[in-house]
């Protein structure tokens, strides 16, 4: 017989000195709402959200597991915190941990946002040994703005996905491990037979003794987009590899992503994965080599330049220091002169500042700061640029606005980064200027116009439709 939440809360203890009430739950089936008035919720046994039931957890709630217990979700879990008021899943005994959130054959539309998931420990036989923080098995939850840290498992220290297509966005996977057995894999995230999109995520400090310090992609067609994968570690034996990513029997797409400073047999290791697509990424300072068992022709061979004029391979990958703001303090935002600024795929959605996508999880906001080298000549404090009409055929007028006189270059590029026209190259006074771009000799498609003044740049997109 199904027991509702109201029947299984056995202890409600008011703490007058701290102004809150703690709620003890011995285990069993849970549903309904957990709010801040009952926090922290002390979990003393395995709890389950049954199929067709929903558990809603409000911002600011702490769920504290008193032993190695699971939260099994066969129904819906809606744990939606706030940026300044996260939901915390943790364990009372950090050496024993708890057994993580286990989405098993759950329906779509569970949501975890602004949650901290820590101290999960997955052990036992399969699938109990997978997903220290979260297991997705035949389930498709949405994970956004979550911090997944200090969890451990045999496979997927932070998160393990099997035959699932979760949405994972704006999450941080930090200091998760897969280290307690002979052949662990995937310190941060393990994707097995699934095809999710993982975007705008940070993977840092994740460790495995064998394969895939940050990510394992196994029999999967995943999209890894605008991520920063830095300072992760895997084993160094002949069968190990992929300090950043381990790709086996898979064909993932990896784009606009930084893979830097990872340890152990390559930033990426490939096993039977010749159709992997890697483009518009930055690889730098990975131990031994960026690519191990590289099956992709011309990957890493510097044969062209991108729209910024930086040397790159045929897939517009660069191999330069990404110039993070402050790595010792785990600040992996881009600094002013990072080569990753405006170096992402130009057909990707623009960054929130309306410029070309940057590489990495954290875009550099060009609306708030001027990219200026110390000692450079003065540049305008404000620049603006637009094209009209847009789309156009075959001509359009490109207007620029300068708040001060400056040396100016205005050029047009196709989406491969090839310059097709230089419209301005010289000093221009403050004020408005307009030039005409004629695309009559060009093919229909997307073109980029790029304005530079000193070290400042502004980029726009226009479409030629014949």
In this predicted structure, what is the pLDDT of residue 403? 77
Judged by DSSP in three states, 273 sits in: coil
Sequence-distant (≥ 6) Cβ neighbours of residue 329 within 8 angstroms: none
- Cα distance from N-terminal residue to C-terminal residue, the chain: 68
Percent helix, strand, coil in the chain, to 5, is 0, 45, 55
Alpha carbon separation from 184 to 147, 152, 208, 246, 326 (Å, rounded): 22, 10, 6, 12, 31
pLDDT (tens, 9 = 90+) of the chain, 466 residues, equals: 333 333 333 334 434 334 458 999 999 999 999 999 999 999 999 999 999 999 999 999 999 999 999 999 999 999 999 999 999 999 999 999 999 999 999 999 999 999 999 999 999 999 999 999 999 999 999 999 999 999 999 999 999 999 999 999 999 999 999 987 778 999 999 999 999 999 999 999 999 999 999 999 999 999 999 999 999 999 988 889 999 999 999 999 999 999 999 998 889 999 999 999 999 999 999 998 999 999 999 999 999 998 888 999 999 999 999 999 999 999 999 998 899 999 999 999 999 988 899 999 999 988 764 443 333 344 444 566 888 898 899 999 998 888 777 888 899 988 777 889 999 998 888 888 899 999 999 999 888 888 887 667 778 888 898 8
pLDDT for the residue 84: 93
How far apart are alpha carbons 228 and 360 in whole angstroms? 5
Prediction pTM value: 0.84
Q: What are phi and psi of 327, to 5 degrees?
A: -55, -40
What per-residue confidence (pLDDT) applies to 20? 58
- CA-wise closest residue to 133 among 55, 169, 186: 186
Residue 221: its H or E element: none
Q: Residue 291 and residue 301: Cα distance in Å, rounded?
A: 11
Q: Partners of 142 in the beta sheet?
A: 111, 167
Residue with tokens 């003794």: 209
Q: In angstroms, rounded to a whole number, what is the distance separating the alpha carbons of residues 19 and 28? A: 28
Q: How far is CA 14 from CA 11, 19, 39, 58, 156, in A?
A: 10, 8, 11, 19, 39
Cis omega before residue 391 (within 30°)?
yes
CA atoms of 175 and 149, how far apart (whole Å)? 6
Which three-class secondary structure state does DSSP give residue 155?
Answer: strand
Q: Which two tokens stand for residue 105?
A: 């054959």
Which residue, 133, 136, 155, is CA-closest to 146? Answer: 133
The pLDDT of residue 285 is 96
- Provide DSSP, 87-102: EEEEESSTTT-B--EE
Query: Phi then psi for 156, rounded to 5 degrees?
Result: 75, 75
Could you tell me which residues come within 8 angstroms of residue 140 by beta carbon, excluding any fewer than 6 positions away?
106, 108, 164, 165, 166, 167
Residue 178 per-residue DSSP state: E
Q: What are phi and psi of 7, to 5 degrees?
A: -95, -10
Element spanning 146, H or E: none
* Phi, psi for residue 433 in degrees, rounded to 5: -140, 145
Residue of 77, 104, 78, 81 whose CA lies nearest to 163: 104
Angle in degrees, CA 129, 130, 136, rounded to 5: 140
38 contacts 24 by C-beta, under 8 angstroms: no
Q: In this predicted structure, what is the pLDDT of residue 309?
A: 86
Q: What torsion do the CA atoms of 172, 178, 179, 182 make, to the nearest 10 degrees? A: -160
**What pLDDT does residue 3 have?**
35
Sign of CA dihedral 102, 116, 194, 259: negative
């Amino acid at each position: 017989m199904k027991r509702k939440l109201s029947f299984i809360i056995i202890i409600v203890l008011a703490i007058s000195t701290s102004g809150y009430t703690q709620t003890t739950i011995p285990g069993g089936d849970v549903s309904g709402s957990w709010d801040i008035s009952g926090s922290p919720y002390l979990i003393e046994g395995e709890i389950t959200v049954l199929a067709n039931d929903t558990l809603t957890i409000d911002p600011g709630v702490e769920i504290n597991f008193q032993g190695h217990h699971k939260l099994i979700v066969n129904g819906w879990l809606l744990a939606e915190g706030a940026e300044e008021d996260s939901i915390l899943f943790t364990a009372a005994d950090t050496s024993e941990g708890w057994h993580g959130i286990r989405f098993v054959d759950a329906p779509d539309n569970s949501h975890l946002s602004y949650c901290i998931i820590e101290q999960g420990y997955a052990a036992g036989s399969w699938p109990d040994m997978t997903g220290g923080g979260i297991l997705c098995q035949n389930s498709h939850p949405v994970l956004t703005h979550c911090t997944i840290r200090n969890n451990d498992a045999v496979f997927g220290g932070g998160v393990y996905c099997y035959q699932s297509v979760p949405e994972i966005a704006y999450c941080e996977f930090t200091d998760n491990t897969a280290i307690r057995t002979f052949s662990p894999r995937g310190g941060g995230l393990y994707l097995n037979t699934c095809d999710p999109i993982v975007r705008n995520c940070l993977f840092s400090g994740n460790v495995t003794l064998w394969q895939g310090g940050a990510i394992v992609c196994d029999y999967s067609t995943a999209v890894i987009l605008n991520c920063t994968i830095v300072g992760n570690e895997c084993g160094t034996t002949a069968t190990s590899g992929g300090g950043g990513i381990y790709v086996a029997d898979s064909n993932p797409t990896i784009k606009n992503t930084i893979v830097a400073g990872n340890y152990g047999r390559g930033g990426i290791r490939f096993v039977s994965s010749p159709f992997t697509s890697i483009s518009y990424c930055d690889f730098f300072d990975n131990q031994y080599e960026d690519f191990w068992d590289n099956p992709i022709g011309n990957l890493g061979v510097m044969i062209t330049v991108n729209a910024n004029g930086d040397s790159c391979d045929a897939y517009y990958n660069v191999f330069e220091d990404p110039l993070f703001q402050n790595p010792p303090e785990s600040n992996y935002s881009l600094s002013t002169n990072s080569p990753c600024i405006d170096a992402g795929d130009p057909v990707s959605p623009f960054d929130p500042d309306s410029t070309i996508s940057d590489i990495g999880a954290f875009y550099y906001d060009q609306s708030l700061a001027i990219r200026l080298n110390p000692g450079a000549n003065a540049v305008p404090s404000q620049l603006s640029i637009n094209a009209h009409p847009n789309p156009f055929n075959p001509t359009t007028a490109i207007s620029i606005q300068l708040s001060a006189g400056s040396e100016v270059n205005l050029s047009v590029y196709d989406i491969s980064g090839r310059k097709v026209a230089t419209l301005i190259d010289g000093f221009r006074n403050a004020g408005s200027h307009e030039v005409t771009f004629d695309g009559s000799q060009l093919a229909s498609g997307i073109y980029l116009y790029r304005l530079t003044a000193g070290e400042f740049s502004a980029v726009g997109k226009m479409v030629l439709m014949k």
